[in-house]
Structure 1
Amino acid sequence: MHLMTFMEVAKPRWYERALVLVVQGIFFNAYFVGYLISPKFAHRVVGYLEEEAIHSYTEFLKDLENGKIENVPAPAIAVDYWRLPHDATLRDVVVVVRADEAHHRDVNHYASEVHYQGMDLKKSPAPLGYH
């Protein structure tokens, strides 16, 4: 959903969309093989990727607040998905996307720890109150 939202904001050309599809295809297959080899490692890598995404979105927010990037109205797809107010802006979208990334980071690091301890992820639900 993050990708679809920002594709609406950026309005990429056909070749940029094609590049995104190619990169997603490469990542999906590499991740699939990596997960088969070591789920612990695969979850940890995604956790770190999500940490980097949080940092990137934080920088994006700074640029929005400093006027380096125009704070345009939020795309309808984001308003509908995250149930944002109808007058939501790009800043509002970046805030909820960054929160999603923080949740994804926590879930993947937790999953890596479960695998590291030799437990089955299906039998190890996150504790109550967990992010």
Structure 2
Amino acid sequence: MHLMTFMEVSDPKWYERALVFAVQGVFFNAYFLGCIISPKFAHRVVGYLEEEAIHSYTEFLKELDNGNIQNVPAPPIAIDYWQLPPNSTLRDVVLAVRADEAHHGDVNHFASDIHYQGRQLKEAPAPLGYH
């Protein structure tokens, strides 16, 4: 959903879309192989990628706040998905996406920790209140 939202905002050219498609294909296959070889490692890597995404979105917010990036209206797809108010802006979308990334990072680190303990995820539901 993050990718689809930012594709709406940026309206990429055909070759930019092709590049995104190629990178997704490479990552999907590498992650699939990583999950087969070591789920613990694969989840940890994704947890760290999500942490880097949080940093990137924080920098994006700074650029929006400094006026270096135009704070355009949020696309309808984002408003619908994150149930944002109708007058939401790109800044509101970035805040929602950054929160998602934080959650994804926590979930992947949790999954890696469970695998590190030699357990399966189905044996260890996330504790109540876990984000």
What is the TM-score of this pair, normalised by structure 1? 0.99
Equivalent AA in structure 1 for residue 112 of structure 2: S
Letter of the structure 2 residue corresponding to residue 4 of structure 1: M
What is the aligned-residue identity percentage?
A: 78
Number of the residue aligned with 1:42: 42
Q: Name the counterpart of 1:80.
A: 80
Matched, 1:30 2:7: no
CA distance in 1, matches of 2:95, 2:30: 29
In structure 2, what is the equivalent of residue 96 of structure 1? Answer: 96
Matches of 2:16 and 2:25, distance apart in 1: 14
Aligned mates of 1:3, 1:130 — CA distance in 2? 25
CA distance in 2, matches of 1:130, 1:23: 31
Partner SS for 2:125? coil
SS at match of 1:41: helix
CA-based RMSD: 0.4
Q: Which amino acid aligns with 1:10?
A: S
Report how many aligned residue pairs link the two structures: 131
**Counterpart of 1:64?**
64
Correspondence for 2:18 = 18
For residue 123 of structure 1, report the CA deviation from its aligned partner.
1.3
Q: How far off its partner does 1:129 sit?
A: 1.0
Deviation of 1:94 (Å): 0.1
Q: 1:38, CA displacement in angstroms? A: 0.1
Q: Which stretch has the larger CA shift, 98-107 or 118-127?
A: 118-127
Post-superposition, which runs of at least 4 consecutive aligned residues in structure 1 deviate over 6 A?
Answer: none
Unaligned runs of 5+ in 2: none
In structure 2, what is the Cα distance between the partners aligned to 1:30 and 1:122?
A: 24
1:30 is displaced (CA, Å) by 0.5
Given the two structures, how large is their TM-score scaled by the length of structure 2? 0.99
Q: Secondary structure at the match of 2:43?
A: helix
State the distance in 1 between where 2:110 and 2:123 align: 13
| In 2: Cα distance, 1:113 partner to 1:52 partner | 19
